[in-house]
Amino acid sequence: MTLAHDVAGDGASTVLLLHSGVCDRRMWEGQFHALAEAGHRVVRCDLRGFGDTPVDGPHVHADDVAALLDGLGVERAALVGSSFGGEVALEFAARHPGRATALALLCAAAPVELEPSDGLRAFFTREEELIEADDLDAAVDLNVDLWLGPDAGAPARELVRRMQRRAFELQLAAPEEFEAAPAGLTEAGLAAIDVPALVVSGAHDVPDFRFIATRLAALLPDVREVALDWAGHLPALERPEETARLLADFLGPRGPLGPLSRP
């Protein structure tokens, strides 16, 4: 399986963009070309069960990412992950040591098991009820209402609707045995990821993810922590240009550690 993907730019450093669990690679339109113009080779992909990549068998998302980079001839890359994509980025860094040279984690999910808050548990319960009732439109709206912050305009909300609907359709069509394997990471494993990391949180995000950001900032050994007072859960869609500038500043014209991919 080759993940559906796009490539922009021809810089010496490679940046891989990993989407959130309610989105696909279309969420990065506001950063994809901007990072290429900043001097990077930029790759955005659809993980299995999202966008243009179906679920065709059991898989490990981080290993799919490694296979994609192998196919592109990239040994090392900086990874930018939004929410679930941040979890995959962390899993990749742990499972494939030496290949991730930097991590930008935007409201990242946690690859270790955490007990959800009452509010988040209620959201998941309601989402499951709507899916079982075959009311995908309502389930999509439920996600749009929770995950987008106050600065998200109508176009961003409509895009998330389309992306989340597509994800539901692909994932519900797949047999249970094709589900992704869990990350299996521990806090000790996270603490061993010794690469420059940017940990971003949003003031309007659900409390669970603000807690995760604080925990990641405490565990990762080389961290720059940024709290955005305007952001919800998806800053890349809520203020695309500002998020692009934040990422470009962190990555620099050649990345935190110089060239990140082989010629």
Nearest-CA neighbor of 176 among 92, 58, 262, 77? 58
Q: Give the pLDDT confidence score for residue 254 in this predicted structure.
A: 45
Q: Give the pLDDT confidence score for residue 258 in this predicted structure.
A: 36
pTM of this structure: 0.95
Count the domains in the chain: 1
Q: Is the pLDDT of residue 235 over 90?
A: yes
pLDDT tens digits, 66-97: 999 999 999 999 999 999 999 999 999 999 99
Residue 123 lies in a domain: yes
Nearest-CA neighbor of 236 among 148, 141, 112? 148
Residue 69 lies in a domain: yes
Q: Give the pLDDT confidence score for residue 91 in this predicted structure.
A: 95
Residues near 42 by beta carbon (within 8 Å), at least 6 away in sequence: 7, 8, 9, 14, 15, 16, 17, 32, 33, 35, 36
Q: Give the pLDDT confidence score for residue 120 in this predicted structure.
A: 96
Mean pLDDT over 93-110 rounds to 96
Q: Is the pLDDT of residue 38 over 70?
A: yes
Let me know how long the chain is.
263
Q: Is the pLDDT of residue 1 over 90?
A: no
Q: Give the pLDDT confidence score for residue 261 in this predicted structure.
A: 33
Q: Give the pLDDT confidence score for residue 14 in this predicted structure.
A: 97
Residue 263 lies in a domain: no
Q: Which has more pLDDT, 49 or 262?
A: 49
pLDDT tens digits, 123-158: 999 999 999 999 999 999 999 999 999 999 999 999
Residue 262 lies in a domain: no
- pLDDT over 90 percentage in the chain: 87
Q: Is the pLDDT of residue 170 over 70?
A: yes
Mean pLDDT over 95-103 rounds to 96
Residue 35 lies in a domain: yes
Question: How far is residue 132's CA from residue 229's CA, in Å, rounded to a whole number?
Answer: 36
Question: How far is residue 225's CA from residue 201's CA, in Å, rounded to a whole number?
Answer: 8
Residue 12 lies in a domain: yes
- pLDDT over 70 percentage in the chain: 96
Which residue is listed with tokens 């990471």?
A: 185
Q: Give the pLDDT confidence score for residue 263 in this predicted structure.
A: 26
Residue 179 lies in a domain: yes
Domain, as residue range, for 222: 5-251
Q: Cα angle vertex 23, ends 7, 252, to 5°?
A: 45
> Sign of dihedral through CA atoms 179, 83, 68, 48?
positive
pLDDT tens digits, 189-202: 999 999 999 999 99
Residues near 152 by beta carbon (within 8 Å), at least 6 away in sequence: 232, 234, 237, 238
**CATH number for 155:** 3.40.50.1820
Residue 261 lies in a domain: no
Q: Is the pLDDT of residue 253 over 80?
A: no
Q: Is the pLDDT of residue 259 over 70?
A: no
Nearest-CA neighbor of 220 among 82, 113, 103? 103
| pLDDT confidence band for 60 (50 / 70 / 90) | very high
Q: Give the pLDDT confidence score for residue 181 in this predicted structure.
A: 86
